[in-house]
Amino acid sequence: MTRTLIVIGHGMVGHRLVEAVRQRDATDAWRVVVFGEEPRPAYDRVALSSYLDGKSAEDLSLTGQDVWDDPMVELRLGTAVTGVDRAARTVSTADGSVVGYDALVLATGSRPFVPPVPGRDLDGCFVYRTIEDLDAIRAAATEGAPGVVIGGGLLGLEAAGALRRLGMRTHVVEMAPRLMPLQVDEGGGQVLGRLVTDLGLTVHCGAAIESIDGDDRVRSIALADGTVLDAELVVFSAGVRPRDELAEVAGLERGERGGFLVDEFCRTSDERVWAVGECAAVQGRCYGLVAPGYSMAEGVAEQLLELGDGTFPGADLSTKLKLLGVDVASFGDAHGQTPGALEVVYANNAAGTYAKLVLSDDARVLLGGVLVGDAGAYSVLRPLVGRELPAPPEQLLLPAGSGVDAGALPADATVCSCNNVTKQDITTAITEQQLTDVPGVKACTRAGTSCGSCVPMLKTLLGECGVVTSTALCEHFPQSRSELFEIVRATGTRSFSELIGKHGTGRGCDICKPVVASILASLGHGHVLDGEQAGLQDTNDRFLANLQRNGTYSVVPRVPGGEITPDKLIVLGEVAKEFGLYTKITGGQRIDLFGARVEQLPRIWRRLVDAGFESGHAYGKALRTVKSCVGNDWCRYGVQDSVSMAIRLELRYRGLRAPHKVKAGVSGCARECAEARGKDFGVIATEKGWNLYVGGNGGFTPRHAELLAADLDDERLVQLIDRFLMFYVRTADRLQRTSAWLESLDGGLDHLREVVVEDSLGIAAELEEAMQRHVDSYTDEWAGVLADPDKLARFVSFVNAPEAPDPTIRFVEERGQIRPGPVALPMPAFATQEVSS
Amino acid sequence: MTWQPICALEMLPPEYGVPALVQDRPVAVFRTHDDELYAVGNVDPFCGAGVISRGIVGDRGGEPTVASPMLKQVFSLRTGQCLDDPSARLPVYPVRRRPDGVVEVALP
Ligand SMILES: Cc1cc2nc3c(=O)[nH]c(=O)nc-3n(C[C@H](O)[C@H](O)[C@H](O)COP(=O)(O)OP(=O)(O)OC[C@H]3O[C@@H](n4cnc5c(N)ncnc54)[C@H](O)[C@@H]3O)c2cc1C
Ligand code: SF4
Ligand code: FES
């Protein structure tokens, strides 16, 4: 018989509970009714700040259509529960409805704590918890104006980072003598303070708020020591309080510091009522992190479905964060509260790093630690908490890489604390499932799929299990593509023969030759068919057209941004008619002309080049198209001129050779008609400029591009794309699309942003110069062939019978056009071939 | 055995191939880096298209090879054997260079 489960609160934890129940409830034992006070379904509150970087509410959403489609789940959003009648087993809502339950789970989260200072209700005072809060902050923020964050803890620093990104002059006021007093010790707090100050924030520690002043709006803040800070905007981030309002109504007990009091099963005194997440005081204690909430949700789901005992195992409060780009980690007994605990500290003021280990009184067992500035050692140290040290503490504290390796970890050490995965779980999966890479380990064990801080350890464990991930390009080159790129660049090598003679073996193959050809082309070494280079090229590049299944080619002229004059359109039709070509409009805003024989190609190009067309590089691992929408010239929604921008970008990057084909899109507003986020780089106009997204693609594993930078003006946009593309061209593997490349980068999107936007490697100028050289040296490849009799001579059907038609090519007619006829030989069944379009 | 002239050697740069018609048979003629000449059938047995001459010339473990541009199977230039699939093989033709530099292919 189906029973009803009511969940109050559709936040991160409430949603996890619904998911866990629905995934495991094979017999549909529970119908789930979820009440959420917020107007939208659950979203990733942990990633809330990225909403100000341009992520949309949908990007942050944790729910997909499946929740709405699931007949066993009813989501009632914008509906606050105001009453619980435990005797009648019903809840009632603000809008007056009453719903009965068989089981009730409270997942109401917490609310930001606003200290009772005078003036806290003035306009311009905000909290930082929901998407609506952020909308309000964004609307009120003025560039260059002063903003104050009250609270220098984890959330406070995050809010400060947000204000800084909104362009405000940002102050942080913290009552404790240091930042992040809960996670970090005195020494770590000092280093953190310095790093944060270097970023342009003003930090006031040991400061109490006297009042917030202004007439109708905030103007200033008075501190207890008499200091007055100008402030046009104030964000309270002074901690959270569990939302336990319903305890009273329901007659449920509260914990000493608030929260619904529950036992280790997350159960209240009423056996039909549970509480999970931030609102639960598990044996009196509330947890302000999402991971403990998730494990509570999983536990309650187990109990509801009678799958296990579902106790809450207690939580690991270790945290690793990248606040404002500064690494901060704390784990275990970070404050050395264990009696007799010893501390070993390594501080490097010059490098801005601080590390502390807390050890047992005999200095043998690791109890906890703090890392600031460089948290590289976190993934090794955290799993070692409570265990004997595998090496002297000094060695463990040395900068990442030189310390201990994974071999030092005992098998049952938890490597991924987010998902509770041990070293043993991972090594077993690697050997039994024969996993060969990190994505495989992620898929198989769930390790590394949440905060990602354990990913470096997953790599190490793969190595420990003997998985050698060779980066050799092929049997002829022991180097990876990016290594070869650097060799060619540094040594000025100009030919394949020279390169393989000095750095490889044998004569090359269809893997290394096109790679080297592409590297030479990226570095601007002449026409792709010059001299020896012609023989290196895949057939597409060698004939500057796309090989199709019957040995004919298709020809795709460039139509920048998809904009084309009627005259040019007519020429395309005429050429197609004259040569009997099949025509098709592609998904990339091009007109593709199919069925050209090798010997026809020069004559077709002649017509096209004379009419003002050039090669669209549809054949190359190169920039293909920059798709555009209509933009603000014609579209009533457009906020920027997407067509001009698309044309500008396409003309800038045309001909650029890359490890894989590159596609782009520009949309004139957030409606995204150009599908820019499905591209390697996508540009979406906002009222404030352009948002740049990277790493998306269609293909086998579709992926949405992610926001790299927001609100850019034209010049900055082009500059960042220059850097992004060149960095990709240099460092990606053979045939690695930007999406896979981004996933393989250590540090992922954050690292890319550091390199491309913040220039952390100091190579931005070099990347820009390289791109400028490409732009300056661009010439049309088709015209280059037409002008060179030697190159033209290669476009023959048979070298000894140039006019004889190739007997293997046959066409039949369909829908008024040609299509390849049956070939003489039987076609074996093959796996899919990537069709270039 | 009748030899048929195909083209001047200059038409055939090292590590390059050209298509030719030898008594109506499509043949792909290759020249490797060490100036050896090879001639194999031009029709890819996997797809039936006359494209082998447009493949990339190289070696696998020292064996001179060409990779079909269509689905990338690799063939030995010496024996015509497909190195990726033992069931397929290209016909092989005698090929030579005349003293005056003209490349000739014979049908056996
Ligand atoms: C900016 C920010 C950054 C954070 N960063 C991290 C981090 O890096 N790591 C980490 O572990 N945690 C972080 N957290 C904390 C994390 O977001 C919370 O621990 C987590 O969201 C708690 O989930 P929850 O479901 O218990 O509560 P919530 O996600 O807050 O969900 C509770 C929901 O219940 C609704 N609700 C409340 N009362 C009622 C009612 N009576 N009727 C109907 N609905 C109701 C609320 O409106 C809310 O939508 C961060 C939080 C913020 C705000
Ligand atoms: S993306 Fe915006 S501007 Fe472009 S066509 Fe669509 S609605 Fe119009
Ligand atoms: S520790 Fe967070 S994903 Fe593994």
At A499 the pLDDT is 93
Neighbour order of strands in the sheet with B74-76: B56-60, B63-67, B74-76
Binding residues of A are 629, 635, 669, 673
Instruction: Report yes or no on B81 lying in a domain.
Output: yes
Pocket perturbation via mutation, ligand 2, pick of A628, A642, A683, A690 by most ligand atoms within 8 A of CB: A642
Which distant-in-sequence residues (6+ apart) come within 8 Å of A185 by Cβ?
A: A334, A335, A336, A356, A370
Q: Which residues of chain B lie closer than 8 angstroms to A539, CB-CB?
A: 51, 54-55, 69
Ligand 2 centroid, distance to A212 Cα (angstroms): 44
CB atoms within 10 A of CB A48: 21
pLDDT of residue A400: 45
Q: Do B71 and A549 touch (CB under 8 A)?
A: no
B82 domain-assigned: yes
Query: How many whole angstroms separate alpha carbon A43 and alpha carbon A533?
Result: 52
* A829 has a chain B CB within 8 A of its CB: no
Q: Does the predicted TM-score (pTM) go above 0.80? A: no
Domain harbouring B95, CATH code: 2.102.10.10
What pLDDT is attached to residue A382?
A: 83
Using alpha carbons, select from A104, A161, A121, A170 the residue that is nearest to residue A142. A170
Architecture of the domain delimited by A538-620+779-836: 2-Layer Sandwich (3.30)
Question: Looking only at Cα atoms, what is the longest distance across chain A?
Answer: 97
Structural domain includes residue B19: no
Mark yes or no for CB contact A800/B32 under 8 Å. Answer: no
Q: Would you call A539 and B64 a contact, using CB atoms and an 8 Å cutoff?
A: no
A788 touches chain B (CB under 8 A): no
Domain A3-109+243-305 has CATH 3.40.1130.10: no
Angle (CA) A482 A483 A484, round 5°: 90
Q: What is the pLDDT of residue A572?
A: 97
Identify the pLDDT of residue A831: 33
pLDDT digits (tens, 9 = 90+) for A494-536: 899 999 999 999 999 999 999 999 999 888 777 878 878 888 9
B78 at interface of A, judged by CB pairs closer than 8 A: no
Among A512, A542, A799, the residue with its CB nearest the CB of B19 is A799
Kindly state whether residue B18 falls inside one of the protein's structural domains.
no
Closest-lying ligand 3 atom to the alpha carbon of residue A421: 4
Q: Cβ neighbours of residue A661 under 8 Å, at least 6 residues apart?
A: A620, A621, A622, A623, A624, A836
Per-residue pLDDT tens over the stretch B6-60: 999 988 989 999 999 998 889 999 999 889 999 999 999 988 899 999 999 999 9
Dihedral sign computed on CA atoms, order A25, A27, A30, A33 = positive
> Which of the listed CATH numbers 1.10.340.30, 3.40.50.720, 3.30.160.620, 3.50.50.60 matches domain A112-241?
3.50.50.60
**Domain membership flag for residue B47:** yes
Task: Answer yes or no: is the C-beta of A290 below 6 A from any ligand 1 atom.
Answer: yes
List the 526-565 stretch of A: residues with Cβ below 8 A of B.
532, 534-539, 542-543, 547, 549-551
Residue A322: its pLDDT value, please? 66
Position B107 in a domain: no
What pLDDT is attached to residue A823?
58
Q: How far is CA A65 from CA A62, A75, A243, A604, B43, in A?
A: 10, 12, 29, 49, 50
| Architecture per CATH, A623-761 | 2-Layer Sandwich (3.30)
Q: Which residues of A are annotated as a binding site for [4Fe-4S] cluster?
A: 629, 635, 669, 673
Give the binding-site residues of ligand 3, using a 6 Å CB cut-off: A 416-419, 447-454
Structure confidence by residue, pLDDT tens digits, A140-159? 998 889 999 999 988 898 89
Please tell me the predicted confidence (pLDDT) of residue A375: 79
Q: Indicate whether B94 belongs to any domain.
A: yes
What range defines the domain where residue B35 resides?
26-102
d(C-alpha A305, C-alpha A478), whole Å: 54
Is the interface score ipTM higher than 0.95?
no
How many distinct structural domains can be found in chain B?
1
- In angstroms, the separation between the Cα of residue A813 and the nearest Cα of chain B is 19
| Model pLDDT, residue A825 | 45
Residues of chain A with CATH 3.50.50.60: 3-109+243-305, 112-241
**C-beta A259 within 6 A of ligand 2:** no
Q: How far apart are CA A716 and CA A764, in angstroms?
A: 12
**Start and end residues for every CATH 3.30.413.10 domain found in chain A:** 623-761
How much helix, strand and coil, in percent to the nearest 5, is found in chain A?
35, 20, 45
> Which parts of chain A sit beneath pLDDT 70?
322-325, 397-408, 450-453, 469, 700-701, 823-837
Q: Measure the CA–CA gap between A258 and A30, rounded to whole angstroms.
A: 30
Say if the Cβ atoms of A538 and B14 lie within 8 Å. Answer: no
